[in-house]
């Protein structure tokens, strides 16, 4: 194509990322070229930038939606220019047995989009996605809202791991985007009360954050500024014991959870804490706790289901989005989001 485009380029730990012109990528075998209309700024990208998981020179961004503008060789004729698409954030090999089953995220040769200069991501005017691993966005969902399908699917997958019994109460630890998605699925699947324990992360907890938890479906919102026992509070307010605790914080908190968890409850950890943490397995054993870990989501099922529920107005991407940004302010916002921030999901509109 020979054209150039604006892209937001990661330069390395501690160095400011910058917007530059780079060539528009050319779709290879099985690929679609997407004109990016919206790309969610993901906590994983902020994490990667902080800790150097991304190679310098990478264009991050894996929560993008847009229109198909060119189609590579070998793509199914079902795909047409102009189609509205959500591309999964990775480049699977498409040849191995795992890929053959469609379980692309488990491909051993998967190149995760945005952390490697070989696979530029969605913080750009154009990006490439693998047609076979992409989803068409249903009518009735706008491309901005659809860009929030990824975190919502993370929440759905964790909800499925928990296998929540009707009539129980759940407790969510952490007041970020993923915590909000658990609250939404709790409301969606019904028959449960969902409390949330919002823990401060280097800044004060504002009333707007607590308010947003309510909007996303929390029946009990607990401000964690002063240490309290959220399990007790949820039980008192809902009249039902907490049987499931979702860790969506990403800080060392498992021992605290073990201490507060009722006997026989199920802890689902999905915060992905980076720091090692010491826990007493005896205290967990004595309570017969069950621990599960949840990561990402099932492709394409969880994404497709979430998009469909958005189209039916039963799950909301909008209530996660707190701002939009263009390339001009993207470097500033990206830096701001690396610290404590009032924002939930910020969407780049190239
Ligand atoms: Zn993400
Ligand atoms: Zn593969």
For the chain, 350 residues long, give each residue's pLDDT as a single digit of tens: 579 999 999 999 999 999 999 999 999 999 999 999 999 999 889 989 998 889 999 999 999 999 999 999 999 999 999 999 998 888 888 899 998 888 887 889 988 889 988 889 999 999 999 998 899 999 999 999 999 999 999 999 999 999 999 888 999 999 999 999 999 999 999 868 889 999 888 778 889 899 999 999 999 999 999 889 999 999 999 999 999 999 999 899 999 999 999 999 999 999 988 899 999 999 999 999 999 999 888 888 999 999 999 999 999 999 999 999 999 999 999 999 998 888 999 999 99
Q: Is residue 301 part of a domain?
A: no
Asked if 138 and 109 sit in the same domain, the reply is: yes
CATH number at residue 238: 3.40.50.720
pTM of the model: 0.92
DSSP state of 318: G
Say yes or no: 111 and 208 in one domain.
Answer: no
Q: How far is the CA of 12 from the centre of ligand 1 (A)?
A: 19
Q: Give residue 350's pLDDT.
A: 95
**63 Cα: distance to centroid of ligand 1 (angstroms):** 6
240 neighbors 206 (Cβ within 8 angstroms): no
Q: Are 141 and 85 contacting, i.e. CB atoms less than 8 angstroms apart?
A: no
- The total number of structural domains that make up the chain: 2
C-alpha 140/C-alpha 120 separation (Å) is: 29
CATH number reported for the structural domain that contains residue 85 in this entry: 3.90.180.10
For residue 85, how far is its CA from the centre of ligand 1 (angstroms)?
16
Same domain, 202 and 259: yes
Instruction: Judge if 133 and 257 occupy the same domain.
Output: no
Q: What's the CA-to-centroid distance between 203 and ligand 1, angstroms?
A: 23
As a whole number of angstroms, the distance between CA 257 and CA 190 comes to 24
Query: Which pLDDT belongs to residue 192?
Result: 80
Q: How far is the CA of 92 from the centre of ligand 2 (A)?
A: 5
CA of 6 to the centre of ligand 1 (A): 21
How far is ligand 2, taken at its centre, from the CA of residue 130, in Å?
12
- For residue 320, what is the DSSP state? G
Helix (H) or strand (E) holding 305: helix 301-311
Same domain membership, residue 161 and residue 248: yes
| Residue 298 counted as domain residue | no
Are 224 and 322 found together in one domain?
no
Structural domain boundaries, residue 198: 151-293
Same domain, 168 and 137: no
**Structure confidence by residue, pLDDT tens digits, 99-130:** 888 888 788 998 888 998 888 999 999 999 99
Q: Which residues surround ligand 1, an ion (CB under 5 A)?
A: 42, 44, 63, 150
Over the stretch 152-202, which tens digit does the pLDDT of each residue have?
Answer: 999 999 999 999 998 889 999 999 999 999 999 999 998 688 899 998 887
Report the percent of the chain where pLDDT is more than 90.
75
């Amino acid at each position: 194509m020979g054209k150039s485009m604006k892209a937001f380029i990661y330069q390395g730990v501690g160095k400011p990322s910058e917007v530059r012109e780079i060539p528009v990528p050319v779709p290879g075998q099985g690929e679609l070229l997407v004109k990016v209309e919206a790309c969610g700024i993901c906590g994983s990208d902020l994490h990667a930038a902080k800790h150097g998981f991304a190679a310098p020179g990478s264009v991050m961004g894996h929560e993008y939606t847009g229109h198909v503008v060119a189609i590579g060789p070998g793509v199914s004729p079902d795909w047409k220019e102009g189609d509205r698409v959500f591309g999964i954030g990775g480049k699977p090999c498409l040849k191995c047995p795992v890929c053959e089953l469609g379980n692309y995220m488990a491909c051993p040769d998967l190149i995760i989009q945005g952390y490697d200069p070989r696979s530029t991501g969605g913080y750009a005017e154009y990006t490439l996605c693998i047609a076979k691993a992409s989803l068409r966005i249903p009518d009735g969902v706008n491309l901005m809202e659809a860009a929030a399908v990824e975190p919502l699917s993370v929440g759905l997958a964790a909800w499925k791991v928990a296998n929540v019994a009707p009539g129980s109460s759940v407790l969510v630890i952490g007041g970020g985007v993923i915590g909000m998605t658990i609250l939404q699925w709790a409301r969606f699947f019904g028959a449960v009360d969902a409390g949330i324990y919002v823990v401060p992360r280097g800044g004060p907890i504002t009333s707007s954050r607590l308010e947003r938890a309510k909007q996303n479906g929390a029946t009990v919102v607990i401000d964690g500024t002063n240490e309290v026992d959220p399990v007790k509070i949820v039980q008192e307010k809902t009249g039902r014991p907490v049987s499931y605790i979702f860790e969506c914080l990403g800080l060392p908190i498992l021992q605290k959870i073990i201490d507060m968890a009722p006997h026989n409850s199920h802890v689902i950890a999905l915060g992905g804490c980076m720091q090692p943490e010491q826990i007493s397995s005896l205290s967990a054993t004595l309570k017969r706790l069950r621990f599960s870990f949840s990561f990402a989501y099932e492709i394409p099922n969880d994404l497709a289901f979430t998009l469909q529920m958005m189209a039916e107005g039963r799950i909301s991407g909008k209530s996660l989005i707190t701002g939009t940004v263009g390339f001009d302010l993207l470097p500033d916002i990206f830096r701001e989001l690396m610290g404590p921030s009032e924002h939930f999901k910020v969407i780049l509109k190239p």
